[in-house]
Amino acid sequence: MESKLGIGLLGLGTVGSGVAEIILNPENRHPLVSDIELIGVAVRDKKRQRKISIPDQIITTDPLQIVDDPRIQIIVEVMGGLEPARSLIIRAIKNGKSIVTANKSVIARYGDEIASLANDNGVYVLIEAAVGGGIPIIEPIKQSLGGNQIKRVTGIINGTTNYILSRMEKEGAAFDKILKTAQELGYAEANPAADIEGLDAADKIAILSGLSFGGNINRADIPTQGINNLQSRDIDYAKRLGYQIKLLAISERIDSKESNKDSLPLAVRVQPTLISQEHPLAGVNGVNNAILIEGDPIGEVMFYGPGAGAGPTASAVVADILNIAGVKKLGGNGTQLDPLLAANSWRDCHLVGSDEIIQSNYIRLICEDSPGVIGKIGKVFGERNVSIESIVQFEANPLGAEIVVITHKVTQGQIKDSLNGIKQLDEIKEVAAHMGCL
Ligand SMILES: NC(=O)c1ccc[n+]([C@@H]2O[C@H](COP(=O)([O-])OP(=O)(O)OC[C@H]3O[C@@H](n4cnc5c(N)ncnc54)[C@H](OP(=O)(O)O)[C@@H]3O)[C@@H](O)[C@H]2O)c1
């Protein structure tokens, strides 16, 4: 009888439990699920009550026992965090084991190093669950869209912030209030910084950029603005102007002035962004995620679905396990790897400076309610070649008058220069908000 493919789980929390549930219940699933066997599970605390019943003898608090076990061919890393996850992945690869991981933090920072080590050792590192939870997005970019030149990737890839923004828009409530209820309902972590400051989305767009454009970028260089300073008045004004505000992660190829012809210039950022009500991403609400890919020749294609949770994320993890199981069944046990499944960088990419990013902008100014101020603001923009799509004065309130400007597409350098000029005007009290606009 053919032996089963041995799986070692590092972590038995939300995702790990969901994965174990599928492996232990193969009925009515693809026959390959029956070809895999859970050999060992590492946890931090053996006494913790678990959602799933696992034989005690296969649970350990020593992850090295799993990573070094010769009966295991695939390590599923779902423990999270940078260390010891990264070191365990590296050790497992050196031991000749393939990796399936949901860990975007490790992959966004060390993905290149890990992928080339895996190639050298003839093993796979699959990461479908690291972006978009249950949404198939990694393998479609690597395999199904491989014939395209990708132009732009635009994603709502953090469910917590999308949930908060959706409720702020629906209820007109303040950020702090919605964050608190999101924490009570388990949609936001007790420490929500990684989500609300945009850091989680930056990890994910770093991964999507690398796959879409073929070359790694430096995660630390991604300009990142979260929703933690977003005010409900901006959501209200955006709505009155026909827009919604979403936390978008965007990566696009651009024509750069730079002389570096050997490396593809990319404009990448995470920021709250106004999108028109007709935009494909405008209907993505609550904890759902969506990724819109524009490519040549495909045009636009959008991937939509649950961005987190035990079931959806486990679905993605198990899909990766089955991909490896399928290749191994074909006899792929040597060091020859399927080049699409084992995707690796094939060119150099780099991020252009944030001043070079071109986009439309939403700007809210607080100023004295005096005649002629709109003309003066328009003049400052005009002198920097910034053309204005609309400029609207909303009702005066105790803060002063509020003026919202939407610009046409210009460089962020022009906007920065204009805002410096605007701040010099006597009537201007504050540049209260600046966001992107699609
Ligand atoms: N949750 C989601 O919806 C979701 C979605 C997409 C991606 N992810 C990613 O999936 C990974 C896991 O997330 P999760 O939500 O499942 O986390 P979680 O619920 O906190 O579970 C983490 C598990 O890892 C174990 N663990 C942590 N450190 C360990 C160590 N040093 N040695 C042994 N075991 C250790 C924990 O053991 P104990 O149980 O004993 O504490 C726990 O079982 C993360 O990288 C996360 O970013 C999660």
Order of strands across the sheet that contains 59-60: 59-60, 36-42, 5-10, 74-77, 98-101, 125-126
Question: Alpha-carbon distance 20 to 16, whole Å?
Answer: 6
User: Where do the structural domains in the chain lie, given as residue ranges?
Assistant: 5-133+310-344, 138-306, 357-437
Q: Which residues contact 366 (CB under 8 A, 6 or more apart)?
A: 399, 400, 401, 402, 428, 429, 430, 432
Residues with CB under 6 A from ligand 1: 11-16, 42-45, 48, 63, 78-80, 84, 102-104, 129, 133, 308-309, 313
Q: Is the pLDDT of residue 77 over 80?
A: yes
Active site residue 204: yes
Task: Please write the tens of the pLDDT for every residue from 349-358.
Answer: 999 999 999 9
Per-residue pLDDT band for 431 (boundaries 50, 70, 90) equals: very high
Residue 393, CB half-sphere, CA atoms under 13 Å: how many?
16
Mutate to test the pocket of ligand 1, among 9, 12, 15, 110 (most ligand atoms within 8 A of CB): 15
CB contact at 8 A, 196 and 227: yes
Determine the distance separating the centroid of ligand 1 and the alpha carbon of 363, expressed in angstroms. Answer: 40
- Pick 357-437's CATH classification: 3.40.50.970, 3.30.1360.120, 1.20.120.530, 3.30.70.260: 3.30.70.260
Q: Closest residue (by CA) to atom 17 of ligand 1?
A: 13
Length of the chain: 438
Average pLDDT, the chain: 95
Q: What is the DSSP letter of 354?
A: G
CATH class of the 138-306 domain in this structure: alpha beta
Atom of ligand 1 nearest to the CA of 16: 16
Residue 81 corresponds to which tokens in the numbers above? 């965090």
Question: Alpha-carbon distance 63 to 218, whole Å?
Answer: 29
- Pick 5-133+310-344's CATH classification: 3.40.50.720, 3.20.20.370, 3.40.50.300, 3.40.630.10: 3.40.50.720
Per-residue pLDDT band for 369 (boundaries 50, 70, 90) equals: confident
Among the options 94, 204, 239, 429, which is catalytic? 204
Residue 390 corresponds to which tokens in the numbers above? 């609309």
CB contact at 8 A, 17 and 309: no
Atom of ligand 1 nearest to the CA of 77: 11
Q: Give mean pLDDT, residues 367-384.
A: 94
Mutate to test the pocket of ligand 1, among 12, 14, 65 (most ligand atoms within 8 A of CB): 14
Question: Alpha-carbon distance 200 to 223, whole Å?
Answer: 13
Task: Please write the tens of the pLDDT for every residue from 275-307.
Answer: 999 999 999 999 999 999 999 999 999 999 999
